[in-house]
Amino acid sequence: MAVPISPAQTLPTRGHSGPVPAGSRHQSRARARREARVGHLLIAPAIAVVGVFILYPLGFGLYISFTNWPLIGPYHYIGGSNYSALLHNSVFIQSIVFTLEYTAIVTVPILVFGYLLAVFVRSNRRGSILFRTCFFLPFIIGLSTLSFLIFVELQPGFGTVNVLLSKFHIVGINTPWTASTGLALTAICILATCLRRKAIRQTKITPLPRKLR
Which residues make up the CATH 1.10.3720.10 domain(s) of the chain?
90-212
| Nearest 10 degrees: Cα torsion 89, 95, 101, 107 | -140
How far apart (Å, rounded) are the C-alpha atoms in residues 85 and 182? 27
Q: Which fold has domain 90-212?
A: MetI-like fold (1.10.3720)
Residues (pLDDT < 50) of the chain are 1-2, 5-13, 15-16, 198-201, 203-204, 208, 212-213
Own/partner long-range contacts of 205-211 (Cβ < 8 Å, ≥24 apart) = 205/115, 205/118, 205/119, 205/122, 206/122
Question: Which of 193, 188, 191 shows the shortest CA–CA distance to 110?
Answer: 193
Does the model's pTM come out above 0.85?
no
**pLDDT value of position 63:** 94
What does the pLDDT look like over 65-93, one tens digit per residue? 999 988 888 889 998 999 999 989 999 99
**pLDDT value of position 110:** 79
**Percentage of the residues of the chain whose pLDDT score is greater than 70:** 76
